[in-house]
Every structure is written in structure tokens, then in C-alpha cells.
């Protein structure tokens, strides 16, 4: 598409409005971590809306290579304990003293509790269609981005965690042979007015080549 086409595509007010809206949502999405969540619930309908938007991600050959597990209530407590157990051998060596170690473990146990829910992200590879793994991971990543953008549109904080405990916890839920853990997606209410994290992006001109 050349610049003339772009202008003609955005020639109506409603197109401009939609263009502005999508840009605003994409650019205002931030990873918001559980430390900043307000410990408020969200409705099952809204969780389903977020997951339904995930399922509208593009997938090569329509494999829809994902499975989600919604974790709430006792599962948040379980994940806190899991994180503390996961890091215990590491922090036992690095903590300056027992008090600092106990404080770190307490922080980890409590960390997930303010989340409204956490969604386990599972790559479920297609058995019937041969698709390179990276394409299926790419499709799940598109699905996760749809979730994040939906959260932003509803003023919810979210982020994708792929650290050791997140990956291992999803495995502990029980995966099929054709499945892999892709970590956890946190969702929580936060005080958007009080939240001001500046994240810069490299000007896209520096990463774009135009060929005619
Ligand atoms: C695939 C993927 C995995 C990520 N894993 C983690 C993680 O394990 N822990 C974390 O703190 N943030 C994680 N993030 C969030 C990034 O740190 C964050 O997107 C980046 O700092 C840019 O900030 P922004 O999302 O607010 O724009 C992950 C993001 C992506 C896309």
C-alpha cells in the first residue's frame, strides 16, 4: 500500500475513529505486574470475552493451537507457594540472613494473590496438520496479545510471565503429549490514574527498510 492508498482508506470519520482507537489501545498497553493489582475480582463474562478475543487470533491452517486454564481463588495461593518453593534453593544461598530469606519467601507466597485471575497459556500442537512449531508459538503469541489488548480496553492490568516458576507451574497442571507450557498470563485491576510507567520504543524508521 502506498501513502495515497492509506489516505483514501482512512477517508471517513468512522475509519479515522477506529484507527485512532486501535492505536490508542495498542500504545497504552503496558505490562502491569501483580504488585500493582488491587485484589478485585472480574466477572466470568469478562474472562470469557478476553479468551474469546484470544481465539480470534490468526492461525496458519486454522489449527488454533492453544488451550487455556483459568486459575482463581485457591489456585492463586497454590501458585504463591509454588513460587516460594521454586526459589527456596536459590535464595537460601543468596539471602544475607534468615530474616531476609523469610521476607523474600513471604513476598513470593503473597505475590499472585491480588490478581483477579491468572490464565495458564498452553501450546496445543496440531496432530493432523504439519505446521512448524514456531508458527504455532507465533499464533499463541497473537492470541496472548489479543488478551492483553482486551484487558487494556477494559482498564485491566495484565502481563505475560514466562519465568521458571510460571513455566513449571503450568506443567504441574498436567499437559498432554502434544502440549507445552508457555507460562502464565496475569490479569488484575489496578489504579490506572496513579500508574505512570514510561517505556520507550525505538523509532520505527530505524528498524524499517522501504523497497520500491
Ligand atoms: C513472550 C513474553 C514473555 C514475557 N515474560 C516476562 C516475564 O517472565 N517476567 C516479566 O516481568 N515480564 C515478562 N514479559 C513482559 C516484558 O517484560 C514487557 O513486555 C517489556 O518490558 C515491555 O514492556 P510493556 O509490555 O509494558 O510494553 C514478557 C513479555 C513477552 C512478550
Domains of the chain: 30-72+112-190 (3.40.109.10)
Q: Is the CB of 160 under 6 A from ligand 1?
A: yes
The per-residue pLDDT for 10 is 57
* CA of residue 33 relative to chain centroid, distance: 10
If one residue of 27, 28, 30, 31 were mutated to test the ligand 1 pocket, choosing by the most ligand atoms within 8 A of its CB, it would be 31
- Please tell me the pTM assigned to this model: 0.93
Q: CA separation (Å) from 138 to 42, 57, 101, 134, 154? A: 28, 10, 38, 6, 25
HEC readout, the chain = CCHHHHHHHCCCHHHHHHHHHHHHHHHHCCECCHHHCCCCCCCHHHHHHHHHHHHCCCCHHHCCCEEEEEECCHHHHHHHHHHHHHHHHHHHHHCCCHHHHHHHHHHHHHCCCCCCEEEEEEEECCCCCCCCHHHHHHHHHHHHHHHHHHHHHCCEEEEEECCHHHHHHHHHCCCCCCEEEEEEEEEEECCHHHCCCCCCCCCHHHHCCCCC
User: Do 22 and 100 form a contact (C-beta atoms < 8 A)?
Assistant: no
From first to last of its 212 residues, the chain has per-residue pLDDT tens of 334 444 455 567 888 899 999 999 999 999 999 999 999 999 999 999 999 999 999 999 999 999 999 999 999 999 999 999 999 999 999 999 999 999 999 999 999 999 999 999 999 998 888 899 999 999 999 999 999 999 999 999 999 999 999 999 999 999 999 999 999 999 999 998 887 777 899 999 999 999 99
Q: Is the CB of 31 under 6 A from ligand 1?
A: yes
Span from the CA of 159 to the centroid of ligand 1 (angstroms)? 7
Pick the residue whose CA is nearest to atom 10 on ligand 1: 161
Span from the CA of 98 to the centroid of ligand 1 (angstroms)? 31
Amino acid at each position: 500500500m502506498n501513502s495515497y492508498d492509506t489516505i483514501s482508506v482512512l477517508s471517513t470519520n468512522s475509519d479515522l475513529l477506529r484507527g485512532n482507537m486501535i492505536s490508542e489501545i495498542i500504545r497504552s498497553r503496558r505490562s502491569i505486574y501483580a504488585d500493582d493489582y488491587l485484589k478485585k475480582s472480574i466477572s466470568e463474562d469478562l474472562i470469557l470475552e478476553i479468551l474469546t478475543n484470544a481465539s480470534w487470533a490468526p492461525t496458519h491452517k486454522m489449527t488454533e493451537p492453544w488451550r487455556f486454564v483459568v486459575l482463581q481463588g485457591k489456585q492463586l495461593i497454590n501458585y504463591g507457594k509454588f513460587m516460594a518453593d521454586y526459589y527456596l534453593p536459590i535464595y537460601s544461598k543468596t539471602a544475607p540472613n534468615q530474616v531476609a530469606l523469610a521476607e523474600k519467601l513471604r513476598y513470593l507466597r503473597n505475590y499472585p494473590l491480588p490478581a483477579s485471575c491468572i490464565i495458564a497459556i498452553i501450546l496445543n500442537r496440531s496432530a493432523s496438520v504439519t505446521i512448524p512449531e514456531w508458527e504455532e508459538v507465533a499464533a499463541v503469541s497473537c492470541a496472548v496479545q489479543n488478551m492483553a489488548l482486551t484487558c487494556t480496553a477494559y482498564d485491566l492490568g495484565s502481563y505475560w510471565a514466562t519465568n521458571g516458576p510460571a513455566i513449571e507451574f503450568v506443567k504441574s497442571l498436567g499437559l498432554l503429549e502434544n502440549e507445552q507450557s508457555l507460562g502464565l498470563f496475569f490479569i488484575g485491576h489496578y489504579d490506572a490514574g496513579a500508574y505512570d510507567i514510561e517505556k520507550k520504543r525505538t523509532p520505527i524508521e530505524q528498524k524499517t527498510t522501504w523497497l520500491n
